[in-house]
Amino acid sequence: MLGQVSEFEALIDSALKSEGFASASLKSAILRHLFVNRGDQTKISEKGIAEAVFGIKPGAPYSGQRIRTQCMAVRSGLESYASSPTGQVQKWRCTLPKATAETGYLLRFEDQTQPHRATEAFWLDHLESEFDTIVVHTEPLFFRDQLDGRVIRYFDANDDRATLDSFSSELARRFSETEAKMFRPSYLYLLSGEIAARDQIADWFEEAGHRRVKGAISRNLDTIENRCPVLLGNPFTNRFMRDQFAAQESEYLDFRFDLAQLNCIRVRLRTANEEFSANLVNDYRREDCLCVLTDKTDREVYGMVTRIPNPYGDGCITIIASHNTRAIEQIATTLTNENRLQKVFAQLGFSPQEKLPTSFEWLFAVPSSVGNQDSQAGLPRLVLSRSGRSVLTASPGDF
């Protein structure tokens, strides 16, 4: 019991040093008071907090609303800490339930090690692989006209091994012959959402005490053999992802990008009457056993999580894909955030104590700001899922 108390003390000390409490003296004082006096209901009641923390004299009037507001801030701060990389690796999770007349503001400590965490269940195939995990992100192709000072990018022209010869006909189609000769393939920028996703995944592995995860730009890699990769981007920008979706072993996958149309995902339905598990905000088109989803940046964009066995040997390949870089970031946040992922597991009926299928597909809708792909996206919403190999309702050739 004494060891448990010391663990609680260490957890509270860590929380008080976190971003949500370090610069909030009143909120920190309330948390300290609730922890020290958690066995005394009178001291953790509104009246007890008013007298001990706010300096109200016994019997004097006090603002219950002000105390409730500050306790809500403490509750929010504890939730933020629990969701942080540091909080997620703690044995204990501290929460502040709503007060009752019987309990007052009583802190609750929950053992996060039982049951297993959802994030560890999701990344287990990477953790158990003999191969190192590597996060492969992209470096989009631009065309640069040094004399005119122009830099342009086409979303449907994203070869990460581009040469002038390989895109000469593409440039000639868009520009005059003279003008086309002025452009050179260039890799000038990285995509902010993919970089954030890479860092979140690497931070989760490190904070969880597992081996370090490396990031790599796809065009700098010759192969992903002897690795357990996480692929970021989409098939237009990441050739390794494109290869995996095109492989014969992946014909059973139901969620795919339409390589003939930008911002479009094609979903193969199990039956012609299959419905989505949640209403879609964007309009969509059904074609027999196919459903065609198109991003709308003023409403929602789509992203996918795909897990397949590693064709190169041990472990798996995890794909986080979207045409929208911020959607990739938000989905990666969900996959490394215990609270978010627990909700996804609950929606899917998965238990963190059970091993996930060797292959699965999750389709997310992600709120997007008006007309700006690089602005912050919202919380991903699970729309449809697949587990294991699908029963084909449309031939791979039609798909």
CA dihedral 245, 197, 366, 287 (to 10 degrees): 0
Check whether residue 194 and residue 181 sit in a common domain.
no
- For the residues 252-259, what does the mean pLDDT come to? 88
The 3 state secondary structure assigned to the chain is CHHHHHHHHHHHHHHHCCHHHHCCHHHHHHHHHHHHCCCCCCCCCHHHHHHHCCCCCCCCCCCHHHHHHHHHHHHHHHHHHHHCHHHHCCCEEEECCCCECCCECCCEEEECCCCCCHHHHHHHHHHHCCCEEEEEECCCCEEEECCCCEEECCCCCCCCCCCCHHHHHHHHHHCCHHHHCCEEEECCCCCHHHHHHHHHHHHHHHHCCCCCCEEEEHHHCCCCCCEEEEEEECCCCCHHHHHHHHCHHHCCCCEEECCCCCCEEEEECCCCCCCCCCCCCCCEEEECCEEEEECCCCCEEEEEEEEEECCCCCCEEEEEEECCHHHHHHHHHHHHCHHHHHHHHHHHCCCCCCCCCCCEEEEEEEECCCCCCCCCCCCCEEEEEEECCCCCCCCCCCC
pLDDT at 397 over 50: no
Confidence of residue 297 (pLDDT cuts 50, 70, 90): low
Q: Which range, of 179-188, 224-233, 324-333, 338-347, averages the lowest pLDDT?
A: 179-188
Q: Which domain holds residue 106?
A: 2-111
CB-based contacts of 157, cutoff 8 Å, min separation 6: 141, 167, 170
Give the per-residue pLDDT at 165.
Answer: 65
- For the residues 250-266, what does the mean pLDDT come to? 86
Distance CA 258, CA 323 (A): 11
Query: 142 pairs with which residues across the strands?
Result: 186
Contact 304, 255 (CB under 8 A): yes
- On whether residue 18 sits in a domain, the answer given is yes
- On whether residue 399 sits in a domain, the answer given is no
Distance CA 114, CA 91 (A): 9
Give the per-residue pLDDT at 305.
Answer: 97
Give the per-residue pLDDT at 166.
Answer: 62
Check whether residue 146 and residue 39 sit in a common domain.
no
Comparison of pLDDT for 390 and 244, the residue scoring more? 244
Q: How far is CA 366 from CA 172, 232, 263, 325, in A?
A: 36, 16, 13, 11
- On whether residue 95 sits in a domain, the answer given is yes
Give the per-residue pLDDT at 2.
Answer: 58
- On whether residue 394 sits in a domain, the answer given is no
Q: Considering only CA atoms, which of 119, 131, 128 is closest in space to residue 311?
A: 131
Distance CA 366, CA 14 (A): 33
Instruction: Tell me the average pLDDT of the chain.
Output: 83
Check whether residue 105 and residue 132 sit in a common domain.
no
pLDDT at 167 over 70: no
Contact 229, 317 (CB under 8 A): yes
pLDDT at 394 over 50: no
Give the per-residue pLDDT at 279.
Answer: 61
**Per-residue tokens: 57:** 């004299």
Confidence of residue 275 (pLDDT cuts 50, 70, 90): low
Distance CA 167, CA 141 (A): 11
Check whether residue 287 and residue 146 sit in a common domain.
no
- On whether residue 10 sits in a domain, the answer given is yes
Check whether residue 162 and residue 285 sit in a common domain.
no
Last residue of a domain, one of 94, 111, 128: 111
Which of the listed ranges 68-77, 277-286, 379-388 does the model predict with the highest average pLDDT?
68-77
Q: Considering only CA atoms, which of 248, 249, 245 is closest in space to residue 257?
A: 245
Token look-up 């045409």 returns 323
Distance CA 275, CA 312 (A): 35
Share above pLDDT 70 across residues of the chain, in percent, rounded to a whole number: 85
Write out pLDDT tens, residues 122-157: 998 898 787 889 999 988 888 888 777 788 777 666
Distance CA 70, CA 129 (A): 46
Write out pLDDT tens, residues 17-43: 999 899 999 999 999 999 999 889 899
Check whether residue 344 and residue 270 sit in a common domain.
yes
Check whether residue 199 and residue 212 sit in a common domain.
yes
pLDDT at 295 over 90: no
Give the per-residue pLDDT at 161.
Answer: 61
Give the per-residue pLDDT at 8.
Answer: 93
Check whether residue 203 and residue 300 sit in a common domain.
yes
pLDDT at 396 over 70: no
CATH number at residue 251: 3.30.379.10
- For the residues 158-172, what does the mean pLDDT come to? 66
Write out pLDDT tens, residues 311-324: 887 789 999 999 88
Check whether residue 70 and residue 203 sit in a common domain.
no
Helix axis angle for 2-16 and 64-83, nearest 10°, is 100
- On whether residue 392 sits in a domain, the answer given is no
Number of domains in the chain: 3
Give the per-residue pLDDT at 52.
Answer: 94
The Cβ of residue 155 has, within 10 Å, a number of other Cβ atoms equal to: 14
Write out pLDDT tens, residues 309-361: 988 877 899 999 998 899 999 999 999 999 999 999 999 888 887 889 999 99
Check whether residue 151 and residue 300 sit in a common domain.
no
Write out pLDDT tens, residues 65-112: 999 999 999 999 998 998 898 998 898 989 887 787 777 899 988 787
Comparison of pLDDT for 126 and 282, the residue scoring more? 126
Give the per-residue pLDDT at 162.
Answer: 59
Comparison of pLDDT for 31 and 249, the residue scoring more? 31
Check whether residue 131 and residue 31 sit in a common domain.
no
- For the residues 157-161, what does the mean pLDDT come to? 65
Sign of CA dihedral 300, 302, 303, 304: positive
Check whether residue 295 and residue 364 sit in a common domain.
yes
- On whether residue 318 sits in a domain, the answer given is yes
